[in-house]
Structure 1
Amino acid sequence: MSREVRAFAVTVLTLAALGAAAGLLWSGVSPRAPYQVTADGTVLADPSTQALIAADGWFAVITGGLGLLCGGVAWFAARQWMLPVLLGLCAGGVLGAFLTLWVGSAVTIGAVTVEAAVVPGAKIVPGALQLTASGVLVSWSLLAVGFFGVLEGMHGYRESPLRHPYGEPL
């Protein structure tokens, strides 16, 4: 029982550490939406900006790519403890995505500012990263578990006696 718990914990903690690194990467490559400083606070300077959608896209690409990578590595590395590692991929993917969001929103690396057409003399500042499409939070765990399942299904089919139904030699 302790080996299964250890496999689960190692998987979750590894994905959490990758989530912190992914947050730094997301902060570095995602464009920031321009905000205009007014007397009432900051408002979106250019309502037609695509920077908010681009931040969601970069988040999905980074976490989805890590999901595929983690699912493949987990399947090849954990042949003895399939179920704990699979559950760890699911829980660790969600935790890693939330850590990516938290670190990426808190840390500003390479603030890429999108220009906005505003009144001359207005103060424009880059906004903090945020997700407008919260559904991308599950891309990491969904792709990790899905790819793990595809690899296991292909392996199971290759080893299955049903593959040669008429007693053909392997």
Structure 2
Amino acid sequence: MTREVRAFAVTVLTLATLGLGAGLLWSGVSPRAPYQVTEQGLVLADPSTQALIAADGWFAMITGGMGLLCGGVAWFAGRRWMPGVLLGLCAGGLVAAALTYWIGSTFTIGAVAVEAAAAPGVKIVPGALKLTADGVLLSWPLLAVGLFGLLEGMHGYRESPLRQPYGEPL
């Protein structure tokens, strides 16, 4: 039991650390939506911008790829402590996705180019990254646990007596 708790804690902490790096990567590659500075505050300068959707896409690509990577590595490295590692993938994936979102929306990394048609004298500024589709927050834990389960299912079937139809040896 102690080893499974340790495997859970190590998995969650490892994924949380990876979430910090993924947040910086998301901040560096995602485009920023253009906002116009007005007396009421910031207003979206171009309502037809694709930058908001692109930020969601980049988030899903980065966290989904990290989920697949973590699920594969966890299956190969931690099969002896399967319950702890599997729960760690789920909880750690949620923590990592939340940290990715927080880091990416808080810090601006890389060059920020904003393009929008504005009237003369209107100031256009890049907006902070945010998600418009909250479901992409689940891509990291969902793909990590899904790949882990798929690999375990394939491995379990290979050793299963169900592969031998009618009790015949292979």
Query: TM-score scaled by structure 2?
Result: 0.97
Counterpart in 1 of 2:104?
A: 104
2:53 counterpart letter in structure 1: I
Task: State whether residues 34 and 126 of structure 1, in contact with CA within 8 Å, keep that contact through their aligned partners in structure 2.
Answer: yes
1:146-157 to 2 correspondences below 5 Å: 146-157=146-157
Distance 1:109 1:79 in 2: 37
SS at match of 1:112: coil
1:112-131 to 2 correspondences below 5 Å: 112-131=112-131
Which deviates further from its counterpart, 14-23 or 117-126? 117-126
Displacement, 1:16?
0.2
Distance 1:65 1:155 in 2: 22
1:6 counterpart letter in structure 2: R
1:163 counterpart letter in structure 2: R
Task: State whether residues 36 and 123 of structure 1, in contact with CA within 8 Å, keep that contact through their aligned partners in structure 2.
Answer: yes
Counterpart in 1 of 2:60?
A: 60
Counterpart in 2 of 1:90?
A: 90
1:112 counterpart letter in structure 2: V
Query: TM-score scaled by structure 1?
Result: 0.97
Report how many aligned residue pairs link the two structures. 170
Counterpart in 2 of 1:73?
A: 73
2:78 counterpart letter in structure 1: A
Q: Gapped runs of 5+ residues in structure 2?
A: none
Counterpart in 2 of 1:160?
A: 160
Distance 1:46 1:165 in 2: 63
Q: Gapped runs of 5+ residues in structure 1?
A: none
1:84 counterpart letter in structure 2: G
Displacement, 1:134?
0.5
Task: State whether residues 51 and 114 of structure 1, in contact with CA within 8 Å, keep that contact through their aligned partners in structure 2.
Answer: no
**RMSD of aligned C-alpha atoms?**
1.0
Displacement, 1:111?
4.0
Distance 2:60 2:156 in 1: 30
Task: State whether residues 56 and 131 of structure 1, in contact with CA within 8 Å, keep that contact through their aligned partners in structure 2.
Answer: yes
Task: State whether residues 33 and 114 of structure 1, in contact with CA within 8 Å, keep that contact through their aligned partners in structure 2.
Answer: yes
Counterpart in 2 of 1:140?
A: 140
Distance 1:125 1:114 in 2: 7
1:22 counterpart letter in structure 2: A
1:7 counterpart letter in structure 2: A
